[in-house]
Copies of this chain bind each other. A is one copy, B any other.
Amino acid sequence: VGRKIQASAVEALAGLLFDGMTIMAGGLGQAGVPETLIAQVRASGVKDLTVISNNGGLDGFGLGTLLAGGQIKKLVCSYVGENRILEQLYRSGELELEFAPQGTLAERIRAGGAGIPAFFTRTGVDTLAAEGKELREFDGQRYLMERGLTCDLAIVKACTGDHAANLAFRQGAQNFNPLMAAAGRVTVAEVERLVAVGELDPDQIHAPGIYVDRVCESTLDTTGAAPYPAPRPAAAARFGQRAGWTRDQMAARAAAELGDGAYVNRGVGLPMRVAEILPPGVSVSLQTANSLQGEGAAYFNSAEGFGMIRGGHVDLAVLGAMQVAANGDLANWMAPGLVKGMGGAMDLVAGVRRVVVLMEHVEKSGAPKLVEACTLPLTGARVVDLLVTDLGVFRLDRGLRPLTLVELAPGVTLDELRAKTGAAFEVALG
């Protein structure tokens, strides 16, 4: 047995926990969450924690248990998801929330582990995420300076670990785990399966043991039973009785933008349907923060996934929106009473070559969502190339050319469309 191997989570965390410390915790949604170690942090009663993690767990699951225990003072994350206790703590002022774009968060953690104190990224320029940060131009583009992150303790979860503390992950469980392993001043890993040295192929190790100080076996895995919130019922029926395109037709119109062999990233909700309604003869690869799916598959960590996005390797993103402005501005992450975090949306609009937005043309109230200037906080400025609504298709070209209607849905008149649109537009119907 290697010198890093511990008999249990109790031993693995012995002497490492103190009030006011900063902890990074791996995991994205329900994948790769160090549940056993989190349970031991919970049992220890340590408090006033600053926790860095992509999200805040769920009620009764993962970091949600530390929130319920009142142990977390501040959460640095990209998205908080559906979590009632978190929402209560935040609204009552008992929890401080700091949002970072998901790709920026991943890269900051990678930088911290790799001895890089700061780097520049386009993600978040012209948004709230830029507040207080240095803005700098390189080759005519503006970038934000972001700082590397380290922590007192990183807790991670791997599928397999060997006695030299080398770690291997399965599929989406990689996410933030290898990055955090490197960024911890001390790193503790729990593993589903502990194996002898030599059982892991040296070419297939995602987090080399040099990053990992202690290893124990997982004894808690509730992901199968975790109360992950069911998706809200789709709003599809709402369009049944009206003029304009159905949601499937909207998705199909967006899908028509996909060339054969394209790499595409889709936002949640309606954009997810785009891949199901591809034109004949077209096949695409679907990119996410942690995978490529389509012709074959590949899994990778979140720094790699967002490096792909920021580096311009993804051809197209299909996103939902709350508001789109005539100049290509996009708002899709924050509204009064809705504080969830930007997730990966800012990274996508800053990095993907072409951005297509799918949204209903008006709010439930009837208020226009295509407007002269966004009133909601921006996800990105001048980033939308094409907008597909239930009433028509608009070319925005990132604000380089005037807003132009290029297709009108059946049964919709130009006068009706103008009345429901908060911005002037040109008309160039094919």
Residues of A in contact with B (beta carbons under 8 Å apart): 2-3, 107, 110-122, 138-139, 141, 143, 147, 162-164, 166, 168-171, 174, 182, 197-198, 200-206, 208-211, 260-261, 263, 285, 287, 291-292, 294-300, 303-304, 306-314, 350-351
Contact = CB atoms under 8 A, between A and B. Distances in A.
A298 B209 CA distance: 8
A111 B119 contact: yes
A340 to B, nearest CB: 25
A31 to B, nearest CB: 13
Contacts of A295: 2, 163-164, 197, 209
How many copies of this chain does one complex carry? Answer: 2
Contacts of A291: 202
* Centre residue among A139, A310, A313 by max chain B CB count within 10 A: A313
B182 A298 contact: no
A115 B164 contact: no
23 contacts: A112-B311, A114-B306, A115-B307, A115-B311, A115-B312, A115-B350, A116-B120, A116-B307, A117-B120, A117-B138, A118-B143, A138-B147, A182-B307, A182-B313, A197-B295, A197-B296, A200-B296, A202-B291, A202-B299, A203-B299, A209-B298, A210-B292, A211-B308
A197 B293 CA distance: 11
- A3, A118, A210 pick with most chain B CB within 10 angstroms: A210
A292 B212 CA distance: 13
A200 B303 CA distance: 22
A119 to B, nearest CB: 4
Contacts of A287: 210
B115 A351 contact: yes
A296 B203 contact: no
A174 B310 CA distance: 23
A107 B116 contact: yes
A202 B297 contact: yes
A287 B164 CA distance: 14
A210 B315 CA distance: 10
A64 to B, nearest CB: 28
A269 to B, nearest CB: 24
A304 B182 CA distance: 10
B202 A298 contact: yes
